[in-house]
A and B are shown apart, each in its own frame.
Chain A
């Protein structure tokens, strides 16, 4: 599966799509990036007159790259033939730096294990200065839905 194919299989759309591209992927690790646009919906309220990317959105971005994109790659052809979804099952993330509008982040994930349809990864997010923004463990379950047709 190519990096472009991974993106095309992502189950998200605007305003909740936080992957611009996948830059590296292998059976053990994935890397991708996202640029937080100036007009993201959450900046209006988080915070009043002071837009900062919410931690839950950083977590979501880390999960979309480090868990869902990675899972799609690891499942490969299964994704093409079957209707599947990936549900986040746990997160344990530490935050180190704020991310402002128009900042680009790089997400890197390393597989801890992928067994019995559960993918667990160590995920980190860096800013453009290569400083750690957030880091932690995210896990999710692959749920296979019957009959795509």
Chain B
């Protein structure tokens, strides 16, 4: 059984780093963190480290590179939780 991921928790991690508030208000699964939300690469690292702490998982370089949307982040988080 996989633990359900709390989307609100994920969103609360991302929100402080968002630059484009308009796209944030119209967030979809496909919203791109860099192109749409205008989060810089350094803050993307902070998001991933915050996700690690919040969900008690470890994310490797390859998975990190995939985490560019809500949808792909959830995929990675679920995968890491299930393979813990």
Contact = CB atoms under 8 A, between A and B. Distances in A.
Given A116-B61, A116-B64, A141 B41 contact: yes
Nearest to B64: A116
Chain A interface extent, by class: 10 to 19
A contact face: mostly helix, strand, loop, or mixed: strand
A90 B17 CA distance: 13
B42 interface: yes
A8 to B, nearest CB: 27
A116 B62 CA distance: 10
B49 A90 contact: no
Interface in B40-54: 40-45, 48-49
Contacts, number: 22
B72 to A, nearest CB: 16
A21 interface: no
A90 B61 CA distance: 22
Given A116-B61, A116-B64, A89 B49 contact: no
Contacts of A140: 42
Contacts of A104: none
A113 interface: yes
A113 B48 CA distance: 13
Interface string B28-42: 000000000000111
A116 B40 contact: no
Contact of B40 (A89, A115, A117): A89
Interface of A: 89-90, 113, 115-118, 139-141
